[in-house]
Structure 1
Amino acid sequence: MTYTPDVFSLLPPAAAIILALLTRRVLLSLALGTLTGLLVYTRFDPVAAMVEAWTLFATLFSTPWILKTLGFAVLVGSVMELVRRSGGIDGFVHLLQERYRMLRSRRGALLLVYTTGLVIFIESSITSLIAGAIGRPLAGRFGFSREKLAYVCDSTAAPVCSLLVINGWGALLLGLITTQIGAGYLQGDAVSILVHSVVFNFYAIIALLLTFSVIWFEWDIGPMRRCSAPHAAYEPETKHGDASLMILPLLLMVAGVFVFLWISGGGDLLKGSGSSAVFYTMLLTLGGIALQYRLKRVMSWTEYGAAALGGARALFPIATILLFAFAIGKVIDLVGTGSYLASFLEAGMAHVWLPAAVFVLASIMAFATGTSWGTFSVMLPIAVAMGAAGESYMPLLIGAVISGGVFGDHCSPISDTTIISSLAAGCDHIDHVRTQLPYALLAGVVALGMFLVAGYGIETR
């Protein structure tokens, strides 16, 4: 069955986004958005829609990368719970605060979370989850809100991953660029083109600088002002926990992703499988934790199993939400939402305006679909083809696609990275969307201005 994209293609994401904002129930909104999309795809035949739903979820559960991603979402909960129960987080906080005297204020605590987000650029979900795990016990102690924590986690994860592209993000973008080279739209080396394109990832750069400024100047705007009251004071579970019980597992996680990217890519990090890397890294980390904790006699096998199971159970809702996020993404692809939005970008547009137009459309597409990677896949070939017709500067257009994908994804309530950031910080998801939106819009407006200036400056040379 095929569906010609039309105005009804906008219904699935619109239904999910509006319901999420009205009901604040993300899973229900994603499920109803998926059902709406299937009804649109089957031309509002309910029986056919149910058949398509069965086929859709059968396909999802038989897709290796989706299963690995869901497995990662559950296993990372086990890792975080084991580290928490071992006293590793308490020991890490104690080490920084008492011995090195690095954590003396709200600013210092949030800067630690910010730095964590910058250093762990291997995968946006891991970045958010680790930064959230470190930041949650600090929120009560230093009096910043979970919404502020979610903002810092979210506004470092995707931006830094899209700038330092030795990860799955780079592998995807490199594959898309290589395809365009093969089609004759691009000339040169794919890695060189990607490196030059990252320089024009204006939104990611502005978002990182803005996040640092928000932390340093304690700048709360919009709804964030009403979320800044301190939470209950943090009391460590162990007064003198061992920081190595947290540091070694985190090092193992970071190193493991690079190792498995290298293995799955046949010796090339940029060709590795991101889903395989994060999944097998979690298994490796759980094994390393078991060995370390038993050697240090931190917990028995029974306690280890109980903590691992409890952590997995706690993050099972994330896996369920991710499953429906993948489902609505597939449905949006079936009804051609991205293609319909892309049709508004006219080939006859003056090329000085093209980078800004690509940024705006990629932003709308990512907001509507909730996926930056899906936006890259749809928009990059379109932008490159249009740029080739007028001999535009390709790295600037590719940078506009990347920036728009990250910006729209940051603003979307149905984005998986936005959902993970709110859950990692322990705050309500819609509250996170509402409080992050003013900052994201500010960074987006500045980025748009930079694309207008860059388009005029580069294309008229």
Structure 2
Amino acid sequence: MFGGIFLGLFILNDYSLFSTLDATLSLFISLLSEAWILKTLGFAILVGSVMELLQKSGSIDGFVTFMSQQTSLVKSGRSALLLSYIIGIVIFIESSITSLIAGAVGRPLCDKYKVAHAKLAFVCDSTSAPISSLIILNGWGALLLGLISTQIDLGVIKGSSIDILLNAVVYNFYAMSALVVTFVTIWFDIKIGAMKSATLPLTKTKMITDVDANPFYMLLPIVVMILFVFVFLYLTGDGNILKGSGSSSIFFTMLVTLFFMFLLYVPTKKMKTKTYAWAAFKGAKKLFPIAMILLFAFAIGEVTTELKTGQYLASLATQNLNIYLLAALIFLLSSVISFSTGTSWGTFSIMVPIAVPLAVSMDADVALAIGAVMSGGVFGDHCSPISDTTIISSLASDCEVIEHVQTQLPYALVSGVIALVLFLIFSIL
């Protein structure tokens, strides 16, 4: 990743080595000066603290014992993955939190039933961004509403931004196909490509009988996490959840969760204060390298933006374009940009101002064009090794990032092909 950053800056600085070195230093200083980036990095590190505390307190063992011995909800690897899938569907407010919670709940159960962490990471990743882009009562919807409203203000299109967005969501074919493919994969235990040889958990499958089978020591912190995401979105949005800051919300939510876990574990003698502090520090230390990967991902995204990669690709793709291929081409182009930059939101910001006027000039369906941008942005982000959701899904599932990308890619491509065919069909209808 650093090589890509350096090469991009080398080009931007007219192949001057000294200017590139200076630009590299300035880039990282500027990134670390951005409050939202620092909060996102802090979130990634604090995730490690939460996961380690859940482990050291015995809460995970208690949850596994309760789910596998005292209820009939989870009795196999398939039901363990289905539980994470359902959580990924239900928690749609923020993709990072969705991945984190689905991974936290599913990982101990997958360990018990010898399900590869890569498959759990696939489930977490394949529900987080897709569901967040379909149920738009979140930051995703706010961003898209803003981009559409800008096109209305410029006179490019007419109508209500919310109506246009709701019509576009119907054409978010990749998100829909990804959710269906993921469910089918879980139910029929379909293994294709690298998933066939995915690394299995090292822990031995055994019945745990010497722990307190109380699921609430694990579930209560997760409930607090979900609740306070909404609270902080409301507060940072001055009463409007859609306008709340995602980075601030997830960061402050993790701080509140850690404080709640202290009050939950120490007074009840699940942990001593010293053990709590040491576990929190150890967990943060474990995920510090993940935070650095995120930082490099942000940096390479900045470089590709400065290189105007998206605009260049769009200018090439729109020459001699057939109206029946418009939606499919927008989908493919958005996918390439999102994969290259690792951000679906950045792709939306680049492609909506390009796709909407293009659709209007060709008298094509504007909602279909926006739906293609949404689908392509999620598809490329889903496949990208530098995407924050890819990285967070990996860390939540305790899976190597590269293994997660390699094992997930075949399934994502299947969903992508389905979406591409649907865009071609609906362009003709």
Give the TM-score category using the shorter length.
over 0.9
**Residues 117 and 200 in structure 2, CA contact (< 8 A), matched pair in contact too:** no
Please show how residues 10-409 of structure 1 align to structure 2 within 5 Å. Answer: 30-227=1-198, 231-234=202-205, 239-346=211-318, 348-409=320-381
Partner secondary structure for residue 15 of structure 2: coil
Who is 1:4 aligned against?
none
**Residues 114 and 205 in structure 2, CA contact (< 8 A), matched pair in contact too:** no
**Residues 294 and 386 in structure 2, CA contact (< 8 A), matched pair in contact too:** no
Counterpart residue type for residue 160 of structure 2: D
Instruction: Say which is worse superposed, 337-346 or 40-49, in terms of deviation.
Output: 337-346
Measured after TM superposition, the shift of residue 230 of structure 1 is 6.2
Alpha-carbon distance in structure 2 between the residues aligned to 1:238 and 1:274: 40
**Residues 342 and 388 in structure 2, CA contact (< 8 A), matched pair in contact too:** yes
**Residues 111 and 205 in structure 2, CA contact (< 8 A), matched pair in contact too:** yes
Give the gaps of 5 or more residues in structure 1.
1-29
Partner secondary structure for residue 344 of structure 1: helix
Name the CA shift for 1:268/1:199 in 2 (closer, same or farther; >3 Å): same
Match of 2:386 among 408, 414, 419: 414
Match of 1:442 among 403, 414, 421: 414
Name the CA shift for 1:226/1:51 in 2 (closer, same or farther; >3 Å): same
CA deviation string 1:98-119 (max 9, x = no partner): 2221111111111111112112
Alpha-carbon distance in structure 1 between the residues aligned to 2:158 and 2:222: 40
- The normalised TM-score by structure 1 is 0.89
Measured after TM superposition, the shift of residue 331 of structure 1 is 0.9
**Residues 171 and 367 in structure 2, CA contact (< 8 A), matched pair in contact too:** yes
Alpha-carbon distance in structure 2 between the residues aligned to 1:168 and 1:341: 27
Give the gaps of 5 or more residues in structure 2.
none
**Residues 87 and 242 in structure 1, CA contact (< 8 A), matched pair in contact too:** no
Alpha-carbon distance in structure 2 between the residues aligned to 1:246 and 1:194: 37
Measured after TM superposition, the shift of residue 159 of structure 1 is 0.9
Counterpart residue type for residue 142 of structure 1: Y
CA deviation string 1:231-251 (max 9, x = no partner): 432455962243111111111
Name the CA shift for 1:323/1:377 in 2 (closer, same or farther; >3 Å): same
CA deviation string 1:209-259 (max 9, x = no partner): 110000101111122112275643245596224311111111111111111
Measured after TM superposition, the shift of residue 150 of structure 1 is 1.5
Instruction: Say which is worse superposed, 403-412 or 292-301, in terms of deviation.
Output: 292-301
Aligned-residue CA RMSD (Å): 1.8
Superposition misfits of 4+ residues, deviation over 4 angstroms: 228-231, 234-238
Question: How many residues are matched?
Answer: 428
Name the CA shift for 1:155/1:237 in 2 (closer, same or farther; >3 Å): farther
Alpha-carbon distance in structure 1 between the residues aligned to 2:296 and 2:287: 15
CA deviation string 1:182-235 (max 9, x = no partner): 212232222222222111110010001110000101111122112275643245
Measured after TM superposition, the shift of residue 293 of structure 1 is 2.1
Counterpart residue type for residue 337 of structure 2: M
Name the CA shift for 1:376/1:82 in 2 (closer, same or farther; >3 Å): same
Alpha-carbon distance in structure 2 between the residues aligned to 1:225 and 1:305: 40
CA deviation string 1:346-376 (max 9, x = no partner): 2652323211110011111112222211111
Counterpart residue type for residue 234 of structure 2: W
